[in-house]
Amino acid sequence: MKYIIYILLSFNLTTFTISAEETRQVDKHEHGVGELNIAVEGSTIEFEFMIPGADIVGFEYVAKSDDDIAKINQALKTFDDYTNIFTLPSNSLCELNGQKVALKEEDEHDDHDEHDDQDEHAEENHNEFYAKYSFECGNINAIKEVNFPYFATFTNSGELEVQFISNMGSTSFEVEGDEPSINTDGKI
Q: What is the pLDDT of residues 54-81, one digit of tens each?
A: 999 999 888 999 999 999 999 999 999 9
Q: Which helix (H) or strand (E) holds 131?
A: strand 125-137
pTM for the model: 0.78
pLDDT at 31: 63
Segments of the chain with pLDDT less than 50? 7-29, 108-123
Which pLDDT score, from 0 to 100, does residue 32 have?
Answer: 72
**Residue 52: in which H helix or E strand, if any?**
strand 44-52
Tell me the CB-side half-sphere exposure of residue 188, using CA atoms within 13 A. 23
- Give, in order, the Cα–Cα distances in Å from 3 to each of 10, 41, 113, 138: 10, 9, 33, 21
